[in-house]
Amino acid sequence: MFTVPIIERLKREEREILIFTHENPDGDGIGSMIGLYLFLKKLGKNVTAAMKDDLPYIYNFLPAVDEIKKLPIDKVFDVAILVDAAHKGRAGVEIKAKEIIRIDHHRGGEFESMYDYVEVTSPSTTFIVTQILREWDENLIDKDIATCLYTGLITDTGSFRYNNTDERAFEVAKFLVSKGADPFYISKMVFERNKLSTINLLQKTLSTLEIYGEGKIAILTVFRDFLKECSALEEETEGFVNFARSIDGVEIAILMIQKEDLKTWRVSLRGKGNVNVQQIASHFGGGGHKDAAGCRIIGDYYEIKNQLIQKSKEYLHNEALIVV
Ligand SMILES: [Mn+2]
C-alpha cells in the first residue's frame, strides 16, 4: 500500500514538533494547524501549535484555540510543520527548527524538505491534512478534528463556490461530516457572527469603490482611519474583497489595506475570469493562487493604486499572459 513519506517521518518522531501557519491566518491555515495538532496530540506526540498573530474572532469557536501559542518561540524545535503557506517566511517571524516540513496547496512555493506534501490542485490545505490523517489512522479523526478540517475546506472554497471546488472537495466534506463536522453550525460561526464594527467598516470601505478597465477591475480601500473610526481590527476586513469580486463583469478585484505605518499596503487580489491574479501579485513580490493572491507594497497610495490598475489592465489585454 502506498504510504505518505510525511506519515512515516512523523510516526517515528518522538521529539518536539511545532506546527505553524502564515501571518494574517485564515480558516485554512488555522484549521490545518489545529486539526493536525489535535491528531498528533492524541497519538501522544510532543506537539505545539503556534502562529504570529492573534486568533481572528470568527475562529474562536474552534477546539483547542486556547492552546495555540504565540510566535516567535525562543526554542529550537526538532521538526516544524508549516501548513498552508508557500515558504517559512510567510510565518512573519523567524522559526527555529532543525527541520521544516511543508504541507500546502499554494503554487510556486519553496521546497522545505523531502517530506513536504504539496498538492497545488487541492481545494484547501485541510483537504491535504485530511488525506494524510485518513491514511495514517482514520479512526482517530474525531468531531473536533473534523470541525477544524471542514472549516478550512469551506473558507478556502468560499463554501464550495470557487473554482477550486471539485468532486474531491465534496467527497472530503462528506467524510468530515460523517466524522462529526456540523456544516450549519460551522457556517454560522464563521460567516454569520459579524460585529457591528465590521459592518460599519464595510460601509466605509464600499464607499471607496472604483471601477476601471471597462468594468473589469474593481478596487476597494481600507484606510487606517477607517479602523479607528469604526473601532475595528484589521482582521475584520476578511472577505471584503469579495464584494468587489461579486460585481457583474468584474474579472479582477483588488482590496488595498493601509498598514499601521501608513505607507505599507497589504493588497488582496481576486480573480473571476481567465486572468491569473497570482501573476499580478508576483509582479509586486507576492504570491497565491490563480483566483486569490496577495502582496505588500510600500509607497504612495495613488502611485501604488495606479500601478495595480496598469498591471491588471496588461493582464486583461494580453492573451499571451493568460493561463487558463
Ligand atoms: Mn489555503
State the cell numbers at 4: 505518505
> In the predicted model, is pLDDT for residue 282 greater than 50?
yes
CA of residue 165 to ligand 1 center, whole Å: 13
End-to-end CA distance of the chain: give it in Å, rounded. 35
- Where does the pLDDT of residue 323 fall: very low under 50, low under 70, confident under 90, or very high at 90 and above? low
> What distance in angstroms lies between residue 307's CA and the mean position of ligand 1's atoms?
27
pLDDT above 50: residue 163:
yes
What is the DSSP track for 7-54? HHHHHT--SEEEEEE-SS--HHHHHHHHHHHHHHHHTT-EEEEEESSP
Which of 191, 215, 248 marks a domain boundary? 191
Q: Are residues 137 and 226 in the same domain?
A: no
Separation of CA 23 and ligand 1 centre (Å): 12
Identify whether residues 209 and 136 lie together within a single domain.
no
Find the 104 Cα to ligand 1 centroid distance in Å. Answer: 7
Residue 207: give its domain's CATH number. Answer: 3.10.310.30
pLDDT of residue 252: 98
Measured between alpha carbons, how far is 150 from 279 in angstroms, rounded to an integer?
A: 29
Q: Is there a contact between 99 and 78 (Cβ–Cβ < 8 Å)?
A: yes
- pLDDT-derived band at 288, boundaries 50, 70, 90: confident
293 Cα–ligand 1 center, Å: 11
Gap from CA of 216 to ligand 1 centroid (Å): 26
| Residue 152, C-beta contacts closer than 8 angstroms, at least 6 positions apart | 27, 28, 29, 30, 31, 32, 35, 84, 124, 125, 126, 127, 129
Residues 167 and 304 both lie in one domain:
no
Q: Are residues 247 and 273 in the same domain?
A: yes
Last residue of a domain, which of 191, 207, 224?
A: 191
pLDDT tens readout for residues 176-205: 999 999 999 999 999 999 999 999 999 999
Whether 301 and 185 map to the same domain: the answer is no
CA of 135 to the centre of ligand 1 (A): 21
**Facing residues of 257 across strands?**
222, 266
Q: How far is the CA of 106 from the centre of ligand 1 (A)?
A: 7
In this prediction, residue 3 carries a pLDDT of 76
Do 309 and 177 fall within a single domain? Answer: no
pLDDT for the residue numbered 29 = 98
- Total domain count for the chain? 2
| Span from the CA of 310 to the centroid of ligand 1 (angstroms) | 28
Alpha-carbon distances, residue 237 vs 1, 273, 302 (angstroms): 45, 23, 21
What are the C-alpha distances in Å from 322 to residues 17, 119, 276, 290, 318?
Answer: 41, 22, 6, 10, 7
119 and 71 part of one domain? yes
168 and 215 part of one domain: no
Q: Is pLDDT above 80 for 319? A: no
pLDDT (tens digit per residue) in 247-277: 999 999 999 999 999 999 999 999 998 999 9
Centroid of ligand 1 to alpha carbon of 156 (angstroms): 6
Instruction: Look at residue 216 and give its three-state secondary structure.
Output: coil
DSSP string spanning 223-242? Answer: -HHHHHHHT--GGGGTTTHH
For residues 201 and 308, membership in a common domain is answered with yes
19-42, pLDDT tens digit by residue?
999 999 999 999 999 999 999 999
Tell how far the Cα of 75 is from the centroid of ligand 1, in angstroms: 27
* Structural domain of 224: 196-321
CA–centroid distance, residue 247 to ligand 1 (Å)? 24
Cα 84 to ligand 1 centroid, rounded to whole Å: 5
In the predicted model, is pLDDT for residue 320 greater than 90? no
| DSSP bridge partners of 211 | 218
Task: Look at residues 165, 191, 217 and tell me which one is the last residue of a structural domain.
Answer: 191
Do 235 and 270 meet the contact criterion of CB atoms below 8 Å apart? no
CA 155–ligand 1 middle distance (angstroms): 8
Fill in the amino acid letter for 197.
S
152 with 272, same domain: the answer is no
User: Which of the two residues, 316 and 323, has the higher pLDDT score?
Assistant: 316
Per residue in 93-150, pLDDT (tens digit) is 999 999 999 999 998 889 999 999 999 999 999 999 999 999 999 999 999 999 999 9
Q: Please state, in angstroms and as integers, the Cα–Cα distance from residue 100 to each residue in 76, 95, 312, following that order.
A: 11, 9, 35
SS3 117: strand
229 alpha carbon – ligand 1 mean position (Å): 31
pLDDT at 322 over 90: no
- Ligand 1 centroid – CA 274 distance (Å): 21
The CATH number covering residue 161 comes to 3.90.1640.10
Report the distance separating Cα 318 and Cα 322, nearest Å.
7
Q: Tally Cβ neighbours within 10 Å of residue 271.
A: 25
Do 143 and 226 lie in a common domain? no
- Residue 312: pLDDT band (50, 70, 90) is very high
Tell how far the Cα of 33 is from the centroid of ligand 1, in angstroms.
Answer: 11
Residues ≥6 apart with Cβ < 8 Å to 193: 57, 58
Contacts for 203 with CB less than 8 Å, ≥ 6 apart = none
The pLDDT of residue 324 is above 50:
no
- Is residue 200 domain-shared with residue 186, that is, in the same domain? no
Q: Give the rounded distance of the alpha carbon of 147 from its chain centre.
A: 17
